[in-house]
Amino acid sequence: MNIKVMNIKRFSAVVSAALLAITFAAASSVSYASEKNMGQSEHKFELAKRYYGQCTDTDSAQFDGIKPQLKAFTDMEIMAETMADPAKFAQLMAVVNDPRTIHVMTKCATEPVMWDTWMSGMTDFNKMSRAMGHFMNPNMYLQWMMAPMNPAMYQPMMQMADPKYYTRWMNAMSNPAFYQPITSLADPNWYTPRINWMMNPQSMQPMFNMMNLGGYFAPVPAAGSSTATPAN
C-alpha cells in the first residue's frame, strides 16, 4: 500500500514538473515571438506625414513635433502610459485639439496599414499585459487626484486664448482636403483595398496566432508585410 502511495506521489511530481516545463516553454516562445516582431510592427507614419502636408500652414518639423503624441494611437502600451500620466494626457489633448491632427487621424483610421498595426498590437499578449499593468499601479490614481493642482493640465484650454487657434480652424474649414474622409466615401475605388484587406485571411492571422500556440513558434506576417513593406 505504501509503495503504491509513493508511486502515485512520484507520478504526480513528474506530471507537475512536465506541465511547468511546457508552460515555461510556451511563455518563452510567446515572449520571443513578440520581441522578434516588435521592430516589424512599429508604425512608420509615412501616410500620416503625407496627410499632414495636405493641410495649410504645415511643414515636416511641425509634424515631427506632434509625432510622439500620435504614437499613442498606434500602440496600446503607449496610450496606457499616456493615460496614466495627467501631464502627458494633457499634451495629447492639446495635439488632438487641432484640425490638422484631426485630419490626419480620420484619414489614417481608414487605411488598411493602420488596421494591420492595430490588429498586431491588440493581439500581442505581452504588450497588452504591460498596458493593463499601468492601470494596476496605485501611483496612477494618486497622480490623477493631484492633477487639478498641476498647471500642465490646463494647457489644452490655454491654447484657445491664442488667435492662431481660430485661424487654423478657419483655414481647415476652407480647405477641401479637410473633408476628404467624407467625400472619399463616394469613390468606388476607395473601397477596393479595404475590401481586399477584409477578405484576405492574412489580415486576421495575428488573431489566429493568439489562439493557436503554434502560431507563436512560426509567426505568419501580417497582411501586406510578406512582400514589399507598405507605407504607413
Query: Where on the phi/psi map is residue 230: left (φ > 0), alpha (ψ -120 to 50), or beta?
Result: beta
Alpha-helix residue ranges (DSSP H) falling in the chain: 2-38, 46-53, 60-70, 76-84, 86-96, 99-108, 112-122, 125-135, 138-145, 155-158, 163-173, 180-183, 188-199, 205-211, 214-217
| C-alpha cell read off for 53 | 502636408
**pTM exceeds 0.75:** no
What pLDDT is stored for residue 14 in this prediction? 42
pLDDT in tens, the chain (232 residues): 555 444 444 544 444 444 444 433 333 433 444 444 444 456 678 889 999 998 888 888 899 999 999 999 999 999 999 999 999 999 999 999 999 999 999 999 999 999 999 999 888 888 899 999 999 999 999 999 999 998 888 888 888 889 999 999 999 999 999 999 999 999 999 999 999 999 999 998 888 887 765 544 445 455 554 444 445 5
